Structure 1
């Protein structure tokens, strides 16, 4: 399925009527493809032969059910790299300033049924008192806002996404590369090794969300016993920026943020993961660790990672939010 055929199927899938080659030719220009009507008809014939479109005489074509399934499959492949693009876009769009604590940072959004909310906060309390969160602030919504819809009988909880670190460093002129999301094994309270990794630029889904759904974590064990598995990511920064990043991280800690579990050495592997030339590896906690703890306790959640930009001033301290639902 080449780009032209895929674009024609996309155009047909959005129409509830039969359309001809002339109209398709015009719409293809929006996809950056310039084809004559005659060439469009040639491609339509290929789609007809594959059973992906149906001919309605001189009127034109409609997409078939088989065509919709083919489009769905092809679109999934096309989305590979979607997450890394989302990380880069939201990092750029965030205007959060760590010094003034003003602006929009990046949140993961989770919905929990209101009947489970008290138990959920009790479970998350342990995580928010551990090193395995980005910060103590959360968003709590019981009704719709302009940017977020809250399903009936549910509470929305927003946790600070680790991509906020990317945004903070980017505003300081420091490039950071998100390489992998994974499950990090903790021993004696210290990072030991990654048990599983997924490359951010090779997936259409957030890796940490995948591992959380697969119940591959033991966040509670890592907190209570010092032995467990948490969500974390592996990132790289230029060697020349290492001292500056450490300075910024000290500021973040003073402002109530956490996130970086470990810095590597220049040009040296970190937890057996190699780094690029003149780069340093860093291990960053996953912003979904509180939600992973809920899943471990069989509290069902509906989560969207790296979901939305939200004003920092609208967030609550976790302990204040907890008091509200006791």
Structure 2
């Protein structure tokens, strides 16, 4: 461990500078150019660009990892001036670097957007919130009508009490929006998952587990663990839609995982939840990871 630390210090402090200097003179290209030319579009290229920018002693390059989406084009132009990069000699560099910066800045922007929705409290006095909740019921239980807004029937889709609003406290509107997105865009898959959740032996609380998986997706995003996934699966800036798609993958795959594991009871949920979490984190370590739900949509 100590040797690894010493090597990292020596490399970052001394060897890296001279290696870059040598390669610049041999190839005629700076490190950013070599990365853009040497890696195909995706996580390996973008993470290498991110590391190069952060490690640079040039403030223009250092600040590039914090650039806003609207300033990306200007930032790339400034980097090209700083590094004396000729666009005619390297015609693909500008577009490739712009794409990388859009992915890097987009990840931070996505987290801000997700966090805002998470902090939005479900309000039963808000007509839009209520419509979304009732829409969830209609998508999952199209042939069954609710007796009333507050009813034990909510338990049929996995809520704990007679009024689901109390179950959204941890994840706010983010939890509800995720549940509705899955049910609306993958209706058949969502209903199949619900049928598994209502199994007499292997069942679990569909909505509560869904909100728990929202927390998992949120924590992975916050920690930065989803960078590789989004850099591989989204060509430019990741949007809220892409986060919802990641949630759909988790909801579908957790159900499959739960059924395959055959827990003795719902009391073992935390154990299997962590086991599934570790499995997902393992996938996210792979450089070509892209957690895409491959099932038919509602149509």
More helix by share: 2
Instruction: Compute the TM-score of the two structures, normalised by the length of structure 2.
Output: 0.33
Greater RCO, CA 8 A, separation 6+: 1
Instruction: Compute the TM-score of the two structures, normalised by the length of structure 1.
Output: 0.31
